[in-house]
Chains A and B, each alone.
Chain A
Amino acid sequence: MTSNAEPSTQFEPKITAFVCNWCTYTGADLAGTSRLQMADNVRIIRLPCTGRIDPLFIVKAFERGADGVIVSGCHPADCHYTAGNYHARRRFAVFNELLELIGFEPGRVTFSWVSASEGGKWQDVVNTATETVRCLGPFDAYHHLADEQPAGHVDLGHVGTAGARAVEAATDATGEAVIELRELARTLLAEGRVGVVIGWEEGPRGARPAFITRAGDAGRLIFDTRCTHDLAAYLSPRRSNLAALGKKAVVVKPCDAKAVAGLIRETQLKRDDVVLIGVRCGGVLADPTRPAEVSPETVAPRCAQCQSREPKLADHVVGAPAAAPPVSALPDLLASLEAMAPAERWAFWQSELSRCMRCHACREVCPLCFCERCVADKTQPQWIESSAHGRGNFAWHLTRAIHLAGRCVGCGECERACPAAIPLGLLNKKVAHVMAERFNYVATDDPAVPCPIGTFRQDDTQEFIR
């Protein structure tokens, strides 16, 4: 099936095609039996359905030397399994934009619908993808990710929390919310309605999570602008050591309630198994260790978009009505990044991710990372290398972002926990934008609203698919 009769010195790209068994594979077969001439750079891997094509397959192909990837399956309404391609379309819409943000040049990955009768279209997809990737050249940038090379720093003009000026304690420890909170906790514990109240307390380095098991200790609870931690993480079924405490009551800000809703939506938590104490919130600080005014310089980045002043998903709501938080003065890094050329974006992430030590703190603090065994910990096969080299780090952070698509509530705990100060939230924020723009979805504390990944609409946008 080669169109190159003469030996050539030009670069011959290696392209891996992941295709579905029923349409594209059959279409490719038709192209072959019809003796259609096409580039011989494509190696086909046949899978039952595009719905079976994990974004990790694409990552793995590049890891193993591919210069380009084709993903192809049945046209909408043609899926052998009714809806596999609709699900795949949503997933790849997100993944495609993530790859773009990471710095992949357009054309490294081709998505197409090719039916069993479209041998000619398959010929065209193969020839076009081959020519595009040939022009882009070998994907050495990816292939050499594991080589030892110090990465330079790409500056986005990032002003972070480390530079924020702390002010004298501006918190009112005995404010209305705190008095109500302590009284409620005392009652819940004294009446035996819960075994533990999870809230915040004063720790050696500022506010921190508190576990109150006795009514007499309820006075330890605080709530102020330093209470940034998302306590929904303690409701995850992975926290087996918390089970012995009995039924939990958890103090939730409006944003935390969204994470609780996520756990309920994904059947990790029964609504009746938890008592939710909502607190009215006017924004929290990015850094819970230092008391400060919530100002444009100190406000947690996630509060900028927050429209909720009190959680709807709550059994009790305490505190005085709160005003909207100030708009963050931090530059919009995502916008700066999106304005860059692909090579600059690639350099930015290579520099940032070069500091990743693969401690997986980002995963462990995430309220929605509840898998009993994470794909990154699986070794048979080892889908994601555990080494902290560029290859392993890219695979991990891309996977984390795509696995949280439509599930991330934007609490920012991953970025706050990162001991390497990697702006991980940018990946999640990008995905959140895709969710809003394509699927009209924003994180909500209503557990009845389905996750946009896992459902679909027949008219979902598909401009990225040939």
Chain B
Amino acid sequence: MLQRAEILGVRDFYRDYFAVAVLIGAALLMVGAMLGAGRLIRPVRPQAEKYVTYEAGSDPVAGWGQSNARYYIYALLFLIFDVEAVFIFPWAVGLEGLGTFGVVEMTVFIVLLALGLVYAWRKGVLRWA
């Protein structure tokens, strides 16, 4: 740990973050250039319909729209298995070295996660009604 601290002094720390600043600058410049070019090239013919918010082809409802709370639950369930995947990828790479131990550990992990799905299923969350 200590050697790393010496290599990565504070000046290097700032130098690393200079790269981040350059990246942000480049991103801003690129977006600006693309939008600016569009503005210069495109013809301008305003029509009322063009200013209506696009909502999947149908006319938008005035005022506050309510999004269905069910989407939220599906997003949550998706998240569980998204996280699972994040852990399974590196595990799969090292599986040969880990052997039986690795299989058992991952089984425990997946079973614990699956409990969440079983819970959601038993509570009737998965039914779209």
A binds B: no
Residue ranges of B at the interface with A (Cβ–Cβ < 8 Å): none
